[in-house]
Amino acid sequence: MATETTSEAVGSCVGADGSAIGLPQLCFDWFPNQIFWLLVTLAAIYFLLSRIALPRIGAVLAERQGTITNDIAAAEELKAQADEAEKAYDKALADARAEAQRIAAETRAEIQVELDKAIAAADAQIAEKTGESEAAIAEIRASALESVTEVARDTAQAIVSALGGTADDAAVSAAVEKQTKG
């Protein structure tokens, strides 16, 4: 890089053609310059880092750590809330089911009672109707028997007359009575 430097004033470490004589690293003429500027540089970097950069980055990292910790805590809390809500939901569901079953059973029992009542009423009605019908049938049967006796008497009288006899009403009646009863 230093080929353009042709001045002899540069020192004993650079030749007349601008190239280095020996190791430039061991040229003691340059040491004070390098050391001085190194100390200035290190002081500047140390100032930048310790006053501005490192506290800032440290604060950002701490803040991020805090945010992450908070977020995790918040997430755990929300998870706990969600678990609680699920538990409450399950409980409500179970309660509702139990309630529904209870209402169903109650309703069933009510319906059963009404049904029993209705059946009883119907049975009573049926029994009444049956009694009435039996009475009617007995009446009809009785009247039918009477009619049979009458028809038999008339028929017997007619047969007796036809056979040229004189029908004795009382005898015919007795005979018919005897036959029909027997």
Residue 64 or residue 91: which is nearer to other proteins going by CB? 64
The structure tokens 């950069």 sit at 53
Footprint (CB under 8 A) of other proteins, residues 17-36: 18-20, 23-27, 29-36
| Contact (CB, 8 A) for 2 and 18 | yes
CA angle 54, 60, 66 (to 5 degrees): 135
Cα distance between residue 56 and residue 67, in whole Å: 16
Total residues contacting other proteins by CB under 8 A comes to 51
Which of 37, 41, 6, 13 is CA-nearest to residue 27? 13
Q: Residue 14 class from Cβ within 10 Å (0-12 exposed, 13-18 middle, 19+ buried)?
A: buried
Footprint (CB under 8 A) of other proteins, residues 38-67: 38-42, 44-46, 48-50, 52-54, 56-61, 63-64, 67
Residue 69 or residue 133: which is nearer to other proteins going by CB? 69
Check residue 167 for interaction with other proteins (CB under 8 A): no
Judged by the rule CB under 8 A, the positions of this chain that interact with other proteins are: 1-3, 5-7, 9-11, 13-14, 18-20, 23-27, 29-42, 44-46, 48-50, 52-54, 56-61, 63-64, 67
